[in-house]
Amino acid sequence: PSPASRLERVLRQDAFSDADIVYLLGLDDPADCEALRRASFDLTSRVIGDAVHYRGLLEFSNVCRLNCRYCGIRKDNRGLPRYVLSKRQVVESALWAAENNYGSVCLQSGERRDEKFIRFVEACIREIRRESVSETLPHGLGLTLSLGEQDAATYRRWREAAGEHDGVRYLMRIETSNPELFARLHPARDRKRMEKSWRSRLRALDDIRAAGMQVGTGGMIGLPGQTLADLCDDIRFYARRDVDMLGMGPYITSLGADMVEDGMMDKGPLMQLSLNMLAVTRLVLRDVNLAASTALQTLFEDGRERGVAYGANIVMPNISPRDVRKNYQLYDNKPCVDEERADCRGCLEGRIAAVGRRVGWNEWGCSPHYARRT
Annotated binding residues: 64, 68, 71
Q: Minimal distance in Å, beta carbon 226 to ligand 5AD?
A: 12
Instruction: Give me the residues that bind ligand 5AD (CB under 6 A), please.
Output: 70-71, 173, 175, 220, 249, 251-252, 254, 257, 295, 330-331
Q: Which does 265 bind (CB under 5 to 8 A by kind): ligand FES, ligand 5AD, none?
A: none
- Specify the residue, 142 or 317, whose C-beta has the smaller distance to ligand FES: 317
Instruction: Say if strands 168-171 and 214-217 run parallel, antiparallel, or are unpaired.
Output: parallel
Nearest to 161 by CA among 107, 98, 102: 107
- Specify the residue, 87 or 173, whose C-beta has the smaller distance to ligand 5AD: 173
Q: Minimal distance in Å, beta carbon 326 to ligand 5AD?
A: 16
Q: By CB under 6 A, how many residues form the interface with ligand FES?
A: 7
In the range 315-334, which residues lie near ligand FES by CB under 6 A?
317
> Crossing angle, helix 152-161 and helix 198-210, to 10 degrees?
40
- Specify whether the CB–CB gap between 99 and 289 falls below 8 A: no
Considering only 10-18, 89-97, 283-291, 343-351, which stretch makes contact with ligand FES by CB under 6 A? 343-351
Query: What are the helix and strand counts (H, E) for the chain?
Result: 16, 10
- Specify whether the CB–CB gap between 73 and 110 falls below 8 A: yes
Q: Which does 254 bind (CB under 5 to 8 A by kind): ligand 5AD, ligand FES, none?
A: ligand 5AD
- Residue 363 vs residues 113, 166, 188, 234: alpha-carbon distances, Å: 31, 12, 42, 29
Of positions 348, 352, 359, 366, contacts ligand FES by CB under 6 A: 348
Strand ranges (E), the chain: 51-61, 104-109, 142-146, 168-171, 214-217, 220-221, 245-250, 289-292, 314-315, 358-359
Task: List for the chain the helix, strand, coil content (%; round to 5).
Answer: 45, 15, 40
- Specify the residue, 222 or 360, whose C-beta has the smaller distance to ligand 5AD: 222
Considering only 101-109, 285-293, 344-352, 360-368, which stretch makes contact with ligand FES by CB under 6 A? 344-352
- Specify the residue, 133 or 337, whose C-beta has the smaller distance to ligand FES: 337
Beta-carbon contacts of 317 under 8 Å, excluding residues fewer than 6 positions away, are 54, 56, 57, 102, 341, 344, 345, 348
CA trace torsion 158, 214, 143, 343 (10° rounding): 140
- Specify whether the CB–CB gap between 352 and 317 falls below 8 A: no
Of positions 92, 131, 332, 343, contacts ligand FES by CB under 6 A: 343
Q: Which does 150 bind (CB under 5 to 8 A by kind): ligand FES, ligand 5AD, none?
A: none
Q: Which does 158 bind (CB under 5 to 8 A by kind): ligand FES, ligand 5AD, none?
A: none
- Specify the residue, 143 or 336, whose C-beta has the smaller distance to ligand FES: 336
Q: Which does 175 bind (CB under 5 to 8 A by kind): ligand FES, ligand 5AD, none?
A: ligand 5AD
- Specify the residue, 153 or 347, whose C-beta has the smaller distance to ligand FES: 347
Q: What gap in Å lies between CA 374 and CA 242, rounded to an integer?
A: 12
CA trace torsion 294, 300, 302, 303 (10° rounding): -40
- Specify the residue, 109 or 318, whose C-beta has the smaller distance to ligand FES: 318
Q: Minimal distance in Å, beta carbon 304 to ligand 5AD?
A: 14
Q: According to the binding rule CB under 6 A, does residue 339 interact with ligand FES?
A: yes
Q: According to the binding rule CB under 6 A, does residue 342 interact with ligand FES?
A: no
- Specify whether the CB–CB gap between 289 and 367 falls below 8 A: yes
Nearest to 154 by CA among 198, 217, 202, 207: 207
Q: Minimal distance in Å, beta carbon 57 to ligand 5AD?
A: 10
Q: Which does 347 bind (CB under 5 to 8 A by kind): ligand FES, ligand 5AD, none?
A: ligand FES
Q: Which residues are annotated as a binding site for [4Fe-4S] cluster?
A: 64, 68, 71
Coil, strand or helix at 55: strand
- Specify the residue, 69 or 322, whose C-beta has the smaller distance to ligand FES: 322
Beta-carbon contacts of 48 under 8 Å, excluding residues fewer than 6 positions away, are 287, 289, 313, 367, 368
Residues that bind ligand FES (CB under 6 A): 317, 336, 339, 343-344, 347-348
